[in-house]
Copies of this chain bind each other. A is one copy, B any other.
């Protein structure tokens, strides 16, 4: 792997670049981004060697597409039309159905591997890129059989070098499940932040009382609206279902409190404590 193109040099793409540089010290890493500022920052930080455009992709051994999911759907066909026969293209989008659909009949479909490396922080931009962000994390690969065998192999070697755990899923199942374990968490966190900020407008001192518990639950409300709005749009149906269930559970909890049914409140929490064992499995 000699010529690597990172499209979107933010947290996700930048962190890919840092790991790739460690694995392939002689690689030329090029950055493509609609933001000149991000490209300048990424160059200054040593994340990329040089800047490029989509027209340069015929030289690419690997293209990493790490841009908002609406732009992936729009740009991925164009990217595939610009590569060579031997180029591997991977994406890092948090949705998979619309992305796979967008290139379903593309003549270069077999150069593309649909992936979702489940890693990140609440920060964004090149300066938030970090080494080993993906180490030990799960990488969901969708429609692996649609990718050329040699390019599958190349991708798996890279992911192995980065220390990722691979799971294979269908795009539909990916989008359904990720709505629960990722998209819903973001909405619950954003709305928690909103509820408390609204209260704070009249009560300036309220945040002085916030401890690490609040900080942890509201952390995802720092996330980028540019990235998350298109995710919610593309995964609309699944997200509406999770939101419906979440609101129903909250309403039932509220109902128990209203009715002084604290035995049920206790039982709800006791059974949800099972999350301890589940989270041990994640860590």
Task: Judge whether A182 and B232 touch: CB under 8 Å.
Answer: no
Bound-state CA distance A134–B150 (Å) is: 56
| Closest CB in chain B relative to A131 CB, distance in Å | 16
Contacts of A219 in B (CB 8 A): 213, 216-217, 279
Which of the four size classes fits the interface of chain A? 35 or more
Task: Judge whether A196 and B209 touch: CB under 8 Å.
Answer: no
Task: Judge whether B181 and A209 touch: CB under 8 Å.
Answer: yes
Bound-state CA distance A22–B260 (Å) is: 43
| Closest CB in chain B relative to A114 CB, distance in Å | 15
Q: Which of A6-14, A32-40, A73-81, A186-194 lines the interface with chain B?
A: A186-194
Given A195-B184, A269-B228, A274-B197, do A244 and B233 touch, yes or no (CB 8 Å)?
no
Q: Which of A44-52, A54-62, A97-105, A246-254 lines the interface with chain B?
A: A246-254
Contacts of A122 in B (CB 8 A): 213
Residue in contact with A206 in the complex, picked from B120, B181, B275, CB distance below 8 Å = B181
**Chain A 244-283 near chain B by CB (<8 Å), digits 1 or 0:** 1111011101100110101001101111111110110111
Q: Which A102-160 residues have C-beta < 8 A from chain B?
A: 118-122, 137-138, 140
Bound-state CA distance A249–B233 (Å) is: 18
Q: Which of A23-31, A85-93, A234-242 lines the interface with chain B?
A: A234-242
Q: Is A170 part of the contact surface with B, judged by Cβ < 8 Å?
A: no
Task: Judge whether A184 and B196 touch: CB under 8 Å.
Answer: yes
Bound-state CA distance A211–B180 (Å) is: 11
**Most chain B beta-carbon contacts within 10 A, residue among A208, A223, A236, A266:** A208
| Closest CB in chain B relative to A249 CB, distance in Å | 4
Contacts A122-B213, A182-B214, A223-B273 aside, 17 further interface pairs with beta carbons under 8 A come to A138-B209, A181-B196, A181-B207, A188-B217, A189-B217, A190-B269, A190-B272, A193-B272, A194-B272, A199-B242, A215-B283, A221-B275, A222-B276, A229-B269, A232-B257, A243-B254, A247-B247
Task: Judge whether B209 and A249 touch: CB under 8 Å.
Answer: no
Contacts of A184 in B (CB 8 A): 192, 195-196
Bound-state CA distance A142–B10 (Å) is: 47
Given A188-B192, A220-B216, A270-B225, do A211 and B246 touch, yes or no (CB 8 Å)?
no
